[in-house]
Amino acid sequence: MVAAIFHAPGEPAAAETARPASSSTAAGTAGSVADGAARTARAANPAPLQASPRAPRLPFDWSALWLAVLPPVLGLALLVGVWALLTMNSSTFPSPLATFDAAVKLFADPFYDNGPNDQGIGWNVLFSLQRVALGFGLAAAVGIPLGFLIGRFSFLNRMINPLVSLLRPVSPLAWLPIGLLVFKAANPAAIWTIFICSIWPMIINTAVGVQRVPQDYLNVARVLNLSEWKVITKILFPAVLPYMLTGVRLSVGTAWLVIVAAEMLTGGVGIGFWVWDEWNNLNVKHIIVAIFVIGIVGLLLEQLLMAIARRFSYDD
């Protein structure tokens, strides 16, 4: 056995010592092939992605819901309750239940059309909104640019400010005869009255907003040598927008108030004329329904303008 271990190189004993090395190399090669095959299989069939854990769902704030819903409901309930108590034994003023029955009949067919003097309440509201849109749109097209000019240039401010102070307190209905004299028709006269009464809040609020822009902003614009158009669009408009939208909200409320009174005097089709016509028919239930309709439409107009103000706000 000792002679076999110490054989010279190249004899069979050397071959015997080389065998284990050859077998280990083969085993390593086989392992590498197996690992490569496993990686190929994993690439062909990737493990499914695990969904990220969901954020915990916040509990619903019932207290905030109650605070938002309960007070208005209680206010309406109080109004209806007082109304019911006051009309309990009345034969002239309708009760809440009688008024509700009349409203159900009115809104069962709000868009009937039996001629120019007999149309549903829906058509009358739409005609009034059309007049308000025209008069209010013209007032915005004139009042907002004029407010920018008055607030931007002191000379124009000194020239136009006395005129605004003189004409703004005039009652809306005082302008109606002027419209009838000039336009010779009731519909453009009503639009003119809406225009002249709703233009003042937009002029005043826009001018105040321009005057309250920090002077540092204008100094930077002067250093950068910006054009007047750039100053208005890039500096003044974002700063004045909250004031301008406040004027728009006040104007649309004024326009909706004025159109009812103007239509009572001019006649034709509209919610104001409809109220006056129902009074001539001594239909007090329909007048009360019209009062609620006028209030709801005015509220919706204000909420629409508030949503537009939030949409275009620069505070975010």
CATH classification at residue 256:
1.10.3720.10
* Token code pair at residue 246: 């406040």
Asked if the structure places residue 28 within a domain, the reply is: no
Which pLDDT value is given to residue 117?
74
Amino acid letter for position 228? E
How many CB atoms sit inside 10 A of residue 193's CB?
Answer: 28
Residue 119: beta bridge partners?
113
Asked if the structure places residue 158 within a domain, the reply is: yes
Distances from the Cα of 297 to the Cαs of 44, 83, 126, 273, in angstroms? Answer: 64, 22, 10, 16
Asked if the structure places residue 86 within a domain, the reply is: no
Element spanning 294, H or E: helix 284-311
Asked if the structure places residue 302 within a domain, the reply is: yes
Tokens 């006028």 — which residue? 294
Which pLDDT value is given to residue 12?
45
Cα 31 to Cα 82: distance, rounded to the nearest angstrom:
93
Asked if the structure places residue 44 within a domain, the reply is: no
- Largest Cα–Cα distance in the chain? 141
- What phi and psi, each to the nearest 5 degrees, are found at residue 89? -115, 20
Q: Is the dihedral of CA 223, 224, 227, 232 positive or negative?
A: negative
Task: Please state the domain count of the chain.
Answer: 1
Q: Is the dihedral of CA 237, 238, 244, 249 positive or negative?
A: positive
Which pLDDT value is given to residue 53?
58
Amino acid letter for position 227? S
Structural domain including 218 reads 98-103+121-311
What lies within 8 Å, CB to CB, of 131 at 6+ separation is 187, 190, 191, 194, 259, 263, 270
Asked if the structure places residue 34 within a domain, the reply is: no
Which pLDDT value is given to residue 173?
86
Asked if the structure places residue 216 within a domain, the reply is: yes
**Does the predicted model carry a pTM greater than 0.75?**
no
Asked if the structure places residue 172 within a domain, the reply is: yes
Q: Is the dihedral of CA 215, 217, 223, 226 positive or negative?
A: negative
Could you report the per-residue pLDDT of 291-306, keeping only the tens digit for each? 999 999 988 988 888 8
Which pLDDT value is given to residue 29?
45
Give 10-residue mean pLDDT values along the chain (316 residues). 42 43 45 50 52 60 78 90 90 90 91 82 92 93 92 90 90 89 90 93 92 85 84 84 88 89 85 90 91 92 82 60
